[in-house]
Amino acid sequence: MSYLDNIRTFVRVYELGSMSAAGRDLRISPAVTSARISQLEDYLGVRLFQRTTRNLSPTEQGQAFYPGAVSVLEALDQAEAKVMHLTDAPRGTLFVAAPLGMGRRLVAPQAPDFLEQYPEISLRLRLSDRAVDLTTEGLDLAFFLGQPADSNLKIRKIADCRRVLCAAPEYVGKRGMPEDGAALLREGHNCLNLRFPGASEFQWMLEAPEGPQRFAVSGRHECDDGDVLTDWALAGEGIALKPVFEVAAHLAAGRLVPVATKTPPVPVQMACLYTHRRHQDPKTRLFMDYMTERMARAIREAESAFEVV
């Protein structure tokens, strides 16, 4: 398997543009990563990368070798998938990404039961509210809220998630109750924004009488972790736009109250992204089937626990 390991390492170095990043992704040391690339170069008799102290870039030979190397790994994955399908014994490691709130509340709690049913499968769950790239990050699938930018990926819809503008009673008591999106701007309310490096200018899509409308809200609080926004809202710092399933318990207990209810947020799609090749892998398909059913049920239960007025 050493030659295949060398090819797999080459592909990850090529895609990530870094020996150290590829080593971390593959869970091998930088020395092993470098040694595998050197062994492959010796075997092929060519240089695959130009290396300097600050930069690494593929040579012309490396660029030519990459498509074939990817095809070899894809063919191997497909062959293994067929065997595992016949033996009904899926195995291997799943690389999955999800937003923080969704991952903590919907994905992580379901994972132990799945792994108990399939003891030969391991899970690497990466939680982040930033956008992810399935190809460069070596992911099997990624859960998300919204609309993905990459149309080349496959999408499996889970549910349409209701959202709510909410704030603590303390905040409403001090600043007043805004009745709609226009009031958020007119009255200068402090809107708590989810923002991460590279994010576009933030706008809230609200359902106005004339149809969906974007409101360019602003505020003094920004964070790339949605749960921090919830904590700020609970502390009376401002108004947050949240999926109902994330704040249903706070709404039901009165710790948060809906605001600007004349222009509620447009529901957002919850779904998972995957490549066609990944879906052929039994463990990926099993995980998607298992998670989407249970996540949809959990969302329905959370939303039914509190009806937004």
Task: Give strand ranges (E) for the chain.
Answer: 49-51, 56-58, 92-98, 121-127, 141-145, 154-161, 163-167, 191-194, 204-208, 211-215, 222-223, 239-243, 257-258, 268-274
d(CA 48, CA 59): 5
Average pLDDT, the chain: 86
Mean pLDDT of 148-170: 86
pTM of the model: 0.67
Q: pLDDT tens digits for 187-237?
A: 999 999 987 655 555 789 999 888 899 999 989 999 988 899 999 999 999
3, 76 contact by CB (below 8 A): no
Structure tokens at 258: 């809906």
Taking the domains of the chain in order of start, what are their residue ranges? 2-85, 92-157+269-304, 163-266
When pLDDT is cut at 50, 70 and 90, the band that residue 308 belongs to is very low
Fold match between domain 2-85 and domain 163-266: no
- Can you tell me whether residue 157 is helix, strand or coil? strand
- More reliable by pLDDT, 75 or 244: 244
Instruction: Identify the CATH class of 92-157+269-304.
Output: alpha beta
- Can you tell me whether residue 10 is helix, strand or coil? helix
Instruction: Identify the CATH class of 2-85.
Output: mainly alpha
d(CA 249, CA 42): 60
Relative to beta strand 222-223, strand 191-194 is: parallel
Instruction: Pick one of 1.10.1740.110, 3.40.190.10, 3.20.20.140, 3.90.700.10 as the CATH number of 163-266.
Output: 3.40.190.10
Q: pLDDT tens digits for 65-118?
A: 998 888 888 777 777 666 655 446 688 889 999 988 899 999 999 999 999 999
